[in-house]
Amino acid sequence: MSDFALNIPKNHYEDWQLDAAHKHLKNFDIEEHNLVDVLHFFQDTYGYIDKALIPLLAKFFNLSKAEVHGVISFYHDFRDTKPASYILKICQAESCQAMGSRALTAELKAALKIDFHETSKLADITLEPVYCLGNCSCSPNLMINTKIISRLTSEKLNQILTNLREVQDD
């Protein structure tokens, strides 16, 4: 077995609880510029931004629900559903495309039977696009949770998927 997936811990998120969200907010200042930091905190904690959080944040920051929703929808990294234990982000930037990421993306979608922003029923994997991982000299790139895999090939991709499935079967 390759080491592509063995050293990558699964994502573990807390279950969404409105009461806990109220308590978490007490750790933040009500300055409007903190909204993005607070959203990142909640996504890191729960894996996504629950819709019930929007009115809570609007009241906390003295903003409209539309303003809070606008910030959430503007940033592509914010999710409104809980992701899988493994989040695969495949780079779609020009450098990675020039080195074959489009074909690798198609392979990944076919193997998992999903599109971007979906979770596979075959494996506990969510697929997302990313538009630069800052590793262009080693294109194409894939990020699994927080680990970047560089110089991705079809063979590496198949081994990664095999390993992720094996790890989940353990």
> Tens digit of pLDDT for each residue in 20-55?
999 999 999 888 779 999 999 999 999 999 999 999
Give the containing element (helix H, strand E) for 39: helix 35-46
pLDDT per residue of the chain (170 residues) written in tens, 0 to 9: 444 545 788 888 999 999 999 999 999 988 877 999 999 999 999 999 999 999 999 999 999 999 999 999 999 889 999 999 999 999 999 999 999 999 999 999 999 999 999 999 878 999 999 999 999 999 999 999 999 999 999 999 999 999 888 877 66
Query: What are the structural domain ranges in the chain?
Result: 18-74, 86-169
CB 81 within 8 A of CB 48: yes
Question: What region does 99 belong to: left with phi over 0, alpha with psi -120 to 50, or beta?
Answer: alpha
User: Hey, how many other C-beta atoms are within 10 angstroms of the C-beta on 81?
Assistant: 13
Write out the H or E segment, with its range, that includes residue 110: helix 101-112
86-169 belongs to CATH 3.40.30.10:
yes
